Amino acid sequence: MTKTQRQHRIGELIEREVISTAAQLVTRLQFEGISATQATVTRDLQELGTIKIRDEHGTRRIVVATAAKSSPAPLDHLRRMMGEWVVSVESSANLVVVRTPPGCAHVVASALDRSAFDGVLGSVAGDDTILVIASEERGGLLLAREFRALAGLDELTLSTVKGS
C-alpha cells in the first residue's frame, strides 16, 4: 500500500469512526491488514492536517481540520459549459456518454465534477468523450435526460446529431 492510499484510508477512518489516538488508528489499520507504525501514522496525521477536538457528545476525537470548504460550483456554470460544448448525450444502464468537440471533454467534466451534481458517482474524460457513472437510484436514462436539458439538447436535436 502506498503512502497516499494509506493516508486516504486514514482520512476515511477518522471521518467515520471515533478515533482519539494514533495508537488506536494503528490497531484499526492492522485489523484491515494495513501495516504501519505509530510514528508513521502520526506523520500521516500531521500531513493530513488533523486536530483533536471534543465532539458534540464530549468525546475526544481526531478530525481533519477544515479550512473553509469550497462550495460546489453553481448549476448555472455547468449549464453554460454543457450548453456551449456538449453535442450529444446517450445512456446505457447506469452509464452516460457525453460527447463534445475534440479537446473539450475535460472542460465539461471539470464543471460536472465541481458541480457535485446529484446522482453522479464519477466521471472520466477523454479528448471528446466523457463517461459518467450514475448512481443506481438515479440511473443513466434519467441522468442523460437531465444532461440533455442542461445542454439545451432535445430529442430532435439529438437525432439530428446522430444522423450526421
What structural domains and CATH numbers belong to the chain?
A: 3-64 (1.10.10.10), 75-163 (3.30.1360.40)
* Alpha carbons 136 and 86: distance in angstroms, whole number: 24
How are the residues of the chain apportioned to helix, strand and coil, as percentages rounded to the nearest 5?
50, 20, 35
pLDDT digits (tens, 9 = 90+) for 48-61: 888 988 878 888 99
% of residues, the chain, pLDDT over 90: 63
Mean of the pLDDT values across residues 132-137? Answer: 95
pLDDT digits (tens, 9 = 90+) for 32-82: 999 999 999 999 999 888 898 887 888 899 998 864 444 556 788 889 889
% of residues, the chain, pLDDT over 70: 89
Mean of the pLDDT values across residues 92-99? Answer: 96
Mean of the pLDDT values across residues 97-103? Answer: 94
pLDDT score at 55? 79
Instruction: List 54's β-bridge partners, or say none.
Output: 60
